[in-house]
Amino acid sequence: MTGKEELRQIFRLDKRMVSLQDSIIELETKLTRVSPILSDMPRGGGEQDKISGGVAKLCELRQMLDDMLTESCIKRGEIIQKIELLDNENYKTILRERYVNLKSFEQISIMFPYTYNHTLKLHGHALQEYAKLKD
């Protein structure tokens, strides 16, 4: 795995967590929606099975989200520790802001007295230095 691929793991995890959160919200909405059907005809108990199945699925999704959050925190900590091993403070800042704080290069270039293109060049150098670090 290259240095950049390792750093992008946080981004990928965050995207997966946002998607999972959206799924949880959608399922919660479906489960809490009240739409009574007024009828004097007897009904079967099939509705209760759907709700209990939905609640079970909701619990499963929440557990998955908790696991992903734990994984993200661990990975984030490992990457921060490795970034801190770099000697150049600018490289540390660029990598931390890009891959830990998930900022765009435009946002990062504002933090420095450099142009956008120079920030990209520094980012390339920072990645090369990061890749040289031992785990």
- Predicted confidence at residue 41, as pLDDT, reads 61
User: Among the listed ranges 28-42, 88-102, 106-120, which one has the minimum average pLDDT value?
Assistant: 28-42
Residue 9, by phi and psi: left (phi above 0), alpha (psi -120 to 50) or beta? alpha
Q: What percent of the chain has pLDDT over 70?
A: 87
The one-letter code for the residue type at 124 is: G
Burial classification of residue 76, based on how many CB atoms lie within 10 Å of its CB (0-12 exposed, 13-18 middle, 19 or more buried): middle
> For residue 78, what is the DSSP state?
H
Residue 35 has pLDDT above 90, yes or no: no
Residues 6+ apart with CB under 8 A from 100: 10, 76, 79, 80, 83
Residue 1's pLDDT band (boundaries 50, 70, 90)?
A: confident
The structural domains of the chain, with segments of one domain joined by +, span 3-34+49-132
Residues 6+ apart with CB under 8 A from 51: 31
User: Among the listed ranges 51-55, 87-91, 101-105, 121-125, which one has the minimum average pLDDT value?
Assistant: 51-55
Both tokens assigned to 15 = 């995207």
What's the average model confidence in pLDDT over 62-74?
A: 94
Instruction: Please tell me whether residue 112 adopts helix, strand or coil conformation.
Output: coil
Residue 68's pLDDT band (boundaries 50, 70, 90)?
A: very high
Residue 135 has pLDDT above 80, yes or no: no
Longest Cα pair distance anywhere in the chain, in angstroms? Answer: 77
